[in-house]
């Protein structure tokens, strides 16, 4: 999921795709489904495939999308839910898979890029399709300074943490932290505090997708903080930079009427 994510036309295929690559989560359910699908449709390398089929839950989908990004591939990804929530997935159905793929609707997602520096001077970089967040490592609350485009906006935020989400990720941790849901076409990034203590009434901000956000960890020796980009965690950070990388993109496929944009819209009306 991410910033300024745009929905593409209903289908990206002229005919049913025949070259399919399957990737499965390390669970019994996903592995059993993998065996049945490979027996029926064959399997090829993701770099040679028309579509990558992801078998698992939302977490494994994020891992798969990161693999696609880091490999420099443009292969679209279609998820089949073998997990729990499955917000990024489609129902598992083995029948007429190439036909369903030919009619699938696509969403293009741009990731966030995180650059973090630790207290030991080590620099780390990672991509996130859901969110980049900072979180306290101990019982002590974190103290963060937040700047946007090099302008300090929050001199001192005492909190459990703070996160920057993509539009697709706005319905995940961001929503649980009482951040706003953002449409894929909104060109906005939610910046949301996690359990803020001071300033207590600050509930976050909606930033343009071009924004460059910096987090500085204050009193890092006393109040150590970790930074997370989806499933990649960096401990003892002192500074984190995060922004949307418009040069990178992944394409997710969804069954007709079940697009990511529709799911995000539906979340805004759910109880």
Domain membership of residue 163 as a residue range: 112-244
Residues 128 and 94 in one domain: no
In a domain, 1, yes or no: no
Residues 97 and 151 in one domain: no
Q: What is the pLDDT of residue 8?
A: 40
Active-site residue, selected from the candidate residues 32, 35, 50, 58: 58
Residue with tokens 């669970």: 27
Q: What is the pLDDT of residue 12?
A: 79
In a domain, 117, yes or no: yes
Residues 142 and 90 in one domain: no
Q: What is the pLDDT of residue 271?
A: 63
- Mind listing the pLDDT tens digit for each residue in 35-72? 999 999 999 999 999 999 999 999 999 999 999 998 99
In a domain, 159, yes or no: yes
Residues 99 and 120 in one domain: no
Residues 212 and 170 in one domain: yes
Known catalytic residue at 58: yes
In a domain, 38, yes or no: yes
Among residues 250, 205, 270, 265, which one has the least CA distance to residue 66? 250
Residues 68 and 120 in one domain: no
pLDDT in tens, the chain (271 residues): 443 333 344 567 878 899 999 999 999 999 999 999 999 999 999 999 999 999 999 999 999 999 999 899 999 999 999 988 888 999 999 999 999 999 999 989 999 999 999 999 999 999 999 999 999 999 999 999 999 999 999 999 999 999 999 999 999 999 999 999 998 888 899 999 999 999 988 999 999 999 999 999 999 999 999 999 998 999 999 999 999 999 999 999 999 888 888 888 888 887 6
The C-alpha atoms of residue 256 and residue 216 are separated, in whole angstroms, by 43
Q: What is the pLDDT of residue 15?
A: 85
Query: Quick count: other Cβ atoms within 10 Å of Cβ 109?
Result: 27
Q: The domain spanning residue 72 has which CATH number?
A: 3.40.50.10330
Residues 130 and 194 in one domain: yes
**In the chain, how many domains are there?**
2
Residues 178 and 257 in one domain: no
In a domain, 217, yes or no: yes
Q: What is the pLDDT of residue 61?
A: 94
Q: The domain spanning residue 151 has which CATH number?
A: 2.60.200.30
In a domain, 131, yes or no: yes
Cα 266-269-271 angle, rounded to 5 deg: 115
Q: What is the pLDDT of residue 6?
A: 38
The C-alpha atoms of residue 37 and residue 40 are separated, in whole angstroms, by 5
Residues 214 and 235 in one domain: yes
The C-alpha atoms of residue 246 and residue 210 are separated, in whole angstroms, by 9
Residues 119 and 84 in one domain: no
Residues 43 and 100 in one domain: yes
Residues 93 and 134 in one domain: no
């Amino acid at each position: 999921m991410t910033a300024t994510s745009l929905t593409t036309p209903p289908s990206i295929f002229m005919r049913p795709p025949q070259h399919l690559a399957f990737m499965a989560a390390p669970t019994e359910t996903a592995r059993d489904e993998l065996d049945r699908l490979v027996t029926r449709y064959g399997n090829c390398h993701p770099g040679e495939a028309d579509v990558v089929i992801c078998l698992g839950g939302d977490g494994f989908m994020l891992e798969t999308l990161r693999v696609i990004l880091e490999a420099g591939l443009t292969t679209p990804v279609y998820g089949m839910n073998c997990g729990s929530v499955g917000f990024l997935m489609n129902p598992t159905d083995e029948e007429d898979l190439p036909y369903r793929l030919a009619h699938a609707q696509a969403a293009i997602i741009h990731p966030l890029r995180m650059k973090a520096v630790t207290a030991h001077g080590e620099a780390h970089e990672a991509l996130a399709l859901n969110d980049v967040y900072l979180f306290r490592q101990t019982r002590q609350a974190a103290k963060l300074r937040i700047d946007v485009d090099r302008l300090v906006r929050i001199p001192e935020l005492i909190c459990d943490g703070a996160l920057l989400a993509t539009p697709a990720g706005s319905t995940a941790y961001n929503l649980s932290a009482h951040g706003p849901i953002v449409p894929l076409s909104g060109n906005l990034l939610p910046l949301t505090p996690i359990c803020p203590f001071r300033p207590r009434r600050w509930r976050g901000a909606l930033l343009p997708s071009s924004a460059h956000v910096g987090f500085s960890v204050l009193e890092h020796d006393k109040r150590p903080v970790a930074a997370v980009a989806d499933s990649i965690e960096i401990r003892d950070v002192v500074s984190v930079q995060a922004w949307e990388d418009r040069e990178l993109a992944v394409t997710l496929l969804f069954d007709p009427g079940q697009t990511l944009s529709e799911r995000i819209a539906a979340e805004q009306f759910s109880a």
